[in-house]
Structure 1
Amino acid sequence: MSARVLIVDDLFPNLKLLETKLTVEYFDVVSAMNGPDALAICEKGLCDIVLLDVMMPGMDGFEVCRRIKSTPTTAHLPVVMVTALDQPSDRLRGLDAGADDFLTKPIDDTALLARVRSLVRLKAITDELRSRAMSSRVGDPLAAAAAETGQNANLLIVEDRRSAADRLAAALGQYHCVEVENDPHKALVKATDGAYDLVLVSLDLAGFDGLRLCSQLRSLDRTRTLPVVMIADPGDRARIMRGLDLGVHDYLVRPIDRNELVARVRTQVRRRRFAHSLRESVQASMELAVTDGLTGLHNRRYLDSHLAGLFSEPSLRGRPVAVLLLDIDRFKSINDRFGHEAGDEVLRDFAARIRAQTRGVDVVARFGGEEIVIVVPDTRLDGARQVAERIRERIEVVPFPIHRGTSTIDVTVSIGVAERLPGDETPGDLLKRADTALYRAKKEGRNRVVAAAA
């Protein structure tokens, strides 16, 4: 997978060394020799991942990282700190600044490529969600990501050594809800059934390969997006690299620094919640595309698509289906006498009462203005007429509140009913007969149900 890698280092030989290593692996490389230039490149969207040297004059790497991660438009960029410092306090400072990982000089080629590829994969998934979420203009998921604390998460620790599990739980329990499981088979079941935000897996489980559990968590539909953090021994370098290739999100090496553990878990939880907020935004945009904003019913676009499926799908063409076309009587006079706000209140209540009288399999959609269509599958004309009469009575007998409940008005509805006939070739044929029946209901005095003749 190719990507644009930004290398930030004030020493030219270091820049060229990393550039050579990455170019050979078909990555595109851009470079900056100071913090302000690096921030400008990030803000212009010219990179997919940042390899950031810590020790730079003026603005050091910690400050650059902090600014990248605190700006909504760049907070999603993965940042790997490249440093000669390997003290836990230095790593903690970088993680607090928002760094996604560390590489220690001299840089190991295998670790470099494994880290870059892992983070680029994650970013590619996130970018697709970001694009869809931002185009929908539902909320501001980027601002939410920058404000996320990464605390109060539900964590599952898979560790069969009691003392190690207790230390992990004690460190993380101050900020999160922690559960420990020593059986990897039970842990997999819990992870798929539970609402966890992250799983920590010891690679040194007795009689079981921890990497297998990591692989299973990454491959199952229910846990594919669940962050997984490996806990490894110092000699497990090859298995760590294998885990990263499998898609594991992060790792910790024993002895585990308490502060680094807390910081790395916080980073992964923040990233998960960011991705979740993006998915919710995308889902909301999809719902808005087929939902009427005023009534909450399906809109005309959804209705047309649904009816088209009933007429084009071979398995559905032979099944009975009926439609009800409803129109509020004298709705214009409601708007004229009481105002359009009162008219909107009536429409919302009208839609709610219809939903209460229909089944989950029925499709209720706003057809236009005060007209609503109900598609009633597996129902003949007589059954549909009974549904229509029940709705008509419900509208008539209970007055509609308006002006925020300070007064009420009486409302009635006229309904035309039609069922699909063998000669119907398109949804338009069915809707036309329902519309004709509705016209008759209006002409015959309103507040009534009329069924179309066969």
Structure 2
Amino acid sequence: MTARVLVVDDVAINVKLLEAILTAEYFEVVTASNGVDALEVCARGQCDIVLLDVMMPGMDGFEVCRRLKQNPLTAQLPVIIVTALDQPSDRLKGLEAGADDFLTKPINELALITRVKSLVRLKALTDQWLLRAGLSSEIGLTDPFEGVIASGDHGTILLVEDKDSRRARITQSLVEAGHHVDVETDPQEALFRVIEGTHDLVIVSLDLADFDGLRLCSQIRSLERTRLLPILVIAQSDQTHRLVRGLDLGVNDYLMAPIDTNEMLARVRTQVRRHRFMERLRDSAHLTMEMAITDGLTGLHNRRYLERHLAGLVDQASQRQRPLSLLILDIDFFKQVNDTHGHDAGDDVLREFSRRIRRTVRSVDLVCRLGGEEFVVVMPDTDIRDAAMVGERIRERIASQPFLIEGGEEQIAITVSIGLAARTGGGDAQDTLLRRADDALYKAKREGRNRVSAAVA
């Protein structure tokens, strides 16, 4: 996977070295020699990942990273700090600033490229979800960035570790930091717990006895339910190649033994936040898609959904030589309701009208609000005779009981006119079926309303 990498370093030879490594792997490289320029490149969306030096004049790399992570426009941009600093305190400072990783010079080329590819894949996935949820602000949904920090950094974590002493130390540190920790020593049981649970992170040891920890990571990644669940692995110093393989498989982050507690807590915090952001983003995308096909007032499917699915239902009925019928319903004199009682009363009527339709038809029937006071009911495997009976039941249910308006303080009588058409067996298209039902509806209105009229085949 190719991507545009921003290399930020004030030393030209360092820039050239990283540029050569990255271009050999077919990455596109852009450069900046100071923090201000780097922030501008990122704000313009001109990179997919940042390789950031720490020691630069003016603004150092830690501050650049902090500013990137505090800006909602760049908060999800992966940052790898690449520096000559090699003290644990420096690594912790970088991770607490929001960096996704901290690599010390001289750089291990394989580790660098693998980490870049891993983070680029994550960025691409995030961008896909952002694109799917792109209509959120336009339709008034909450910004997916909001609420992630407010939800807290305390997560539910599954620890898969069979070494007693290490398991105890990790659990104690995480619990003291406010996390809830589930512990599992059996990798197979761990997989079941991941599938059935609601964890924010899985921590997997790569030196489990009699089991390959990477296989568990692969299994977690292969399942739809756990595909977005962050995985952090614990590796020994002699397991570099296995770690690289893990990053290729989709592992999100890693810790090298012996574990630095503060580093572990910083990495865990980052993964928990990222998981909650992705969950919120996914929910936002699903809600956006749901709202695109749902009528906000009645909760029924809307005209867009009908147009997309009616053709498929008609084709399916035609191929199977099965009956299919369609009703168009129009509330009689609905304009008078709005003119006399106001639009709030009209909305009350539309909501109650929808509820009565849904209580009358089958769960397999498609009920849509066509627009205004017009509704459509599509009934698979239903011939014109049975459809007429359903239409009459709907008509009776609407007319038999007054509609409550203004919080139940008043009530008004409502009736409905219904036009009915059925597939004739001659390969009716959806437009033909709708037109015939619409013609039948106008016939019902001409004949006095509050009745069901069937189209002539």
Indicate the TM-score class for this superposition, using the shorter chain for normalisation. Answer: over 0.9
Whether 1:362 and 2:393 are equivalent positions in the alignment is: no
Give the Å deviation of 1:372: 0.3
Q: Which residue of 2 aligns with 1:385?
A: 388
Question: Counterparts of 2:90 and 2:401 in 1: how far apart (Å)?
Answer: 69
Contact 1:323 1:376 in 2 (8 A): yes
Q: Which residue of 1 aligns with 2:293?
A: 290
Letter in 1 for 2:80: V
Question: Counterparts of 1:404 and 1:90 in 2: how far apart (Å)?
Answer: 63
Please list the CA deviations of residues 292-345 of structure 1 after superposition, one character each: whole Å capped at 9, or x if unmatched. 233222122221222211233477551111112111111011111112232222
Letter in 1 for 2:48: D
Q: Which residue of 2 aligns with 1:170?
A: 172
Q: Which residue of 2 aligns with 1:159?
A: 161
Q: Which residue of 1 aligns with 2:309?
A: 306
Question: Counterparts of 2:318 and 2:96 in 1: how far apart (Å)?
Answer: 58
Whether 1:428 and 2:431 are equivalent positions in the alignment is: yes
Where 1:40 maps in the other structure, the secondary structure is: helix
Where 2:146 maps in the other structure, the secondary structure is: helix
Percent identity reads 60
Unaligned stretches of 5+ residues in structure 2? none
Give the Å deviation of 1:122: 0.9
Contact 1:323 1:373 in 2 (8 A): yes
The number of equivalent residue pairs is 454
Letter in 1 for 2:40: A
Question: Counterparts of 1:374 and 1:429 in 2: how far apart (Å)?
Answer: 15
Letter in 1 for 2:277: F
Whether 1:352 and 2:372 are equivalent positions in the alignment is: no
Q: Which residue of 1 aligns with 2:213?
A: 210
Please list the CA deviations of residues 188-208 of structure 1 after superposition, one character each: whole Å capped at 9, or x if unmatched. 122223222221111111111
Question: Counterparts of 1:258 and 1:406 in 2: how far apart (Å)?
Answer: 64
Q: Which residue of 2 aligns with 1:67?
A: 67
Letter in 2 for 1:59: M
Question: Counterparts of 2:37 and 2:107 in 1: how far apart (Å)?
Answer: 23
Where 1:115 maps in the other structure, the secondary structure is: helix
Question: Counterparts of 2:150 and 2:124 in 1: how far apart (Å)?
Answer: 21
Letter in 2 for 1:194: G
Give the Å deviation of 1:247: 1.4
Contact 2:318 2:427 in 1 (8 A): no
Contact 2:303 2:368 in 1 (8 A): yes
Contact 2:318 2:425 in 1 (8 A): no
Among residues 245, 248, 251, which one is paired with 2:248 in the alignment? Answer: 245
Q: Which residue of 1 aligns with 2:272?
A: 269
Q: Which residue of 2 aligns with 1:34?
A: 34
Shift of the 241–315 alpha-carbon distance from structure 1 to 2, 3 Å rule, reads farther
Question: Counterparts of 1:316 and 1:228 in 2: how far apart (Å)?
Answer: 47
Contact 2:317 2:380 in 1 (8 A): no
Please list the CA deviations of residues 115-148 of structure 1 after superposition, one character each: whole Å capped at 9, or x if unmatched. 1111111111111222232245353545327746
Question: Counterparts of 2:75 and 2:142 in 1: how far apart (Å)?
Answer: 13
TM-score by length of 2: 0.93
| Aligned pairs (5 A) from 1:74-223 | 74-135=74-135, 137-138=138-139, 139-141=141-143, 143-144=145-146, 147=149, 151-173=153-175, 174-223=177-226
TM-score by length of 1: 0.93
Where 1:143 maps in the other structure, the secondary structure is: coil
Where 1:14 maps in the other structure, the secondary structure is: helix
Q: Which residue of 1 aligns with 2:346?
A: 343
Contact 1:418 1:430 in 2 (8 A): yes
Question: Counterparts of 1:193 and 1:149 in 2: how far apart (Å)?
Answer: 22
